[in-house]
Structure 1
Amino acid sequence: MPDGWQWDSTLFRGSAAYYERGRLPYAPGFAETLATALGLNGRGRLLDVGCGPGTVTLAMARFFTEAVGLDPDEDMLAEAGRQARRRGVTSARWMTARAEDLPANLGEFRVVVFAQSFHWTDRDRVAATVLEMLEPGGAFVHISDLKNPPAEPAPPPLPAPPYAQIGNLTRRYLGPVRRAGQGTLVNGTPDREDLVLARAGFEDFERHIVMAGEVVNRTADDIVAWVFSRSDSAPHLFGDRLEDFERDLRAVLRQVSPDNRFAERLPATEMMTWRKPHGER
């Protein structure tokens, strides 16, 4: 897990209601690209670990017989259930559990996905367990926004959200060290998933990039929702100063854009896949 931090149930407390509005989506077509790369044919089962409000689970469900979304936050799963009903997805089900609770009698899967969630887990332990849960040749998938994206071709037509100023304001309220649940992330979040997966016994690494870049317009309400959707600025962290923080946050946004209109480009999506050796059971 991230150095200096231990998991607790408050990690995303109060954030679920803000996810759909606040978070930018993955690149259009990411689900189809992943389905093609993995040769999915509508059979087998998907496990989405740390599924949050079901963003990836619901996008990928049509490529499987069944999709299981697993998350320790019941509010996130309730939101996932609402989104499934709204979209008419009937092949997905939801389970309240941590990654460290696996295999949890869930059976065998063709694909196990971690969408910006693997870094919150005991990675070596979880990777070894997932290897056992996959069918031979099954895939471990890590999805995230592309790190170090190319420079933007041109600035958007409206002001960009003032993320640096938002970060400064958050630190003014919560302190200089990034918060996460009841603890702090002293050394940030870990990377080098390739080393973790190699130690676990995975092979046949592939990397797929789905480009985006479309300009999306955002309102002040969207940016406020983005702030409160994050673990390091979840509503509960501000305690009885939450209203003060939101007031000051909206003041920062008005200073940058008096009419509270912003624009930014959708980030590219990076998908890394590893396979369980075909000879393993």
Structure 2
Amino acid sequence: MSGEVEFDPDLYRGTAGHYDRFRLPYPDAMIADLVRRAAPSGRGRLLDLACGTGQLAFPLRGWFAEVWAVDTEPGMTELVRAKATAADVHHIRTVTARAEDLPVRPVSFELIVIGNAFHRLHRNQIAQLAYSWLKPGGCLALCWSTSPWAGPQDWQRTLDSLLQKWRNELGASGRVPPGWDRPRQQDPDHDVLSRVGFELAGRHEFSGDHPWTISELAGHIRSTSFLSPPVLADRADEFDADLATELGPHAADRRLSETVSFAYELARKPTCA
């Protein structure tokens, strides 16, 4: 079995504010569909692993008596706490820790969600842990969304080329390890989950159009691990100017339209486990 790629633990340092403001939320229809299929009791716990700034924890919180929001980056969990306080939400518990090191008793959760991050974790280990942490009949949902530079439109190809140029100029090309997706190609997520005993319950897809402004794209890019604010540093204004120059000719009414794809893959722990 192919080994997993190691990601540096501090790749998202300094991104939390941009992550919270410029990452697109999961659509309401997807959240409602996940809740319908997972069927939480309303009295259980939710675990949001690699939670970011709570893109899943907050919209799902109403169906759980307790929510754990876990991330390795202190800036992320600090912002989750601040948001919970501002919203007068008292049942979200933040934990700053590696998912692999999380101290959890068996059968503690009804639902575990991982948003855009399973590939960054030790998948085999996390799958085994998640299986043990879930109550019988509980679910694990791997949630995903596409990136604005990963599409077929002219402006998306232009953006992808621009980002690669800046990663090279700033010496940031290696922040995302080369071949990071090879282990998933050789050993797909659904095989990893099946091996530890999960019953697969399908991939459920949703999409929606989003009109980006160039300034919003600049903020979104600052939420990434490869061109974060610490990486851009004193060349941030230069990057923004280059972004506007390259994307400006593609913008209609100052907007760049993208059809964003969202999906979640659901796996269930057997009720007899």
Same fold (TM over 0.5): yes
Contact 1:72 1:97 in 2 (8 A): yes
Secondary structure at the aligned position of 2:192 is classed as helix
One-letter code aligned to 2:17: A
Matched, 1:167 2:180: no
State the alpha-carbon separation in 2 of the partners of residues 54 and 254 from structure 1.
Answer: 32
Structure 2 CA distance for partners of 1:39 and 1:184, relative to 1, 3 Å: closer
Question: In structure 2, what is the equivalent of residue 85 of structure 1?
Answer: 85
Give the TM-score taking structure 1 as reference length. Answer: 0.82
Matched, 1:48 2:40: no
Contact 2:4 2:123 in 1 (8 A): no
Contact 2:176 2:225 in 1 (8 A): no
1:169-204, Cα deviation, whole Å (9 max, x unpaired) = 22222229x958x7442113243111111122212x
Contact 2:107 2:132 in 1 (8 A): no
Question: In structure 1, what is the equivalent of residue 232 of structure 2?
Answer: 238
Question: In structure 2, what is the equivalent of residue 194 of structure 1?
Answer: 190
State the alpha-carbon separation in 2 of the partners of residues 252 and 146 from structure 1.
Answer: 21
1:264 is matched with which residue: 258, 262, 267?
258
Question: In structure 2, what is the equivalent of residue 16 of structure 1?
Answer: 16
Shift of 1:131: 1.2
- Aligned residue pair count: 264
State the alpha-carbon separation in 2 of the partners of residues 31 and 136 from structure 1.
Answer: 22
Contact 1:161 1:223 in 2 (8 A): no
1:60-113, Cα deviation, whole Å (9 max, x unpaired) = 111111110100011111222233234443221111011111335697111111
Question: In structure 1, what is the equivalent of residue 111 of structure 2?
Answer: 111
One-letter code aligned to 1:277: P
Secondary structure at the aligned position of 2:257 is classed as strand
Which has the higher relative contact order, 1 or 2, with Cα contacts under 8 A spaced 6 or more apart?
Answer: 1
Question: In structure 2, what is the equivalent of residue 155 of structure 1?
Answer: none
Shift of 1:38: 1.3
Shift of 1:223: 0.8
Contact 1:103 1:129 in 2 (8 A): no
State the alpha-carbon separation in 2 of the partners of residues 145 and 225 from structure 1.
Answer: 17
Shift of 1:123: 0.6
Gaps of 5+ in 1: 153-159
Shift of 1:233: 2.0
State the alpha-carbon separation in 1 of the partners of residues 177 and 42 from structure 2.
Answer: 40
Contact 1:127 1:200 in 2 (8 A): yes
Structure 2 CA distance for partners of 1:25 and 1:142, relative to 1, 3 Å: same
Contact 1:21 1:222 in 2 (8 A): no
1:17-41, Cα deviation, whole Å (9 max, x unpaired) = 1123322222222222111111223
Contact 1:161 1:263 in 2 (8 A): no
Question: In structure 2, what is the equivalent of residue 28 of structure 1?
Answer: 28
Pairwise CA RMSD of aligned residues? 3.0
1:273 is matched with which residue: 252, 255, 266?
266
Structure 2 CA distance for partners of 1:108 and 1:4, relative to 1, 3 Å: closer
State the alpha-carbon separation in 2 of the partners of residues 162 and 186 from structure 1.
Answer: 25
Structure 2 CA distance for partners of 1:106 and 1:242, relative to 1, 3 Å: farther
State the alpha-carbon separation in 2 of the partners of residues 3 and 230 from structure 1.
Answer: 24
Structure 2 CA distance for partners of 1:253 and 1:32, relative to 1, 3 Å: same
Secondary structure at the aligned position of 1:226 is classed as helix
Shift of 1:163: 2.6
Tell me the percent identity: 27
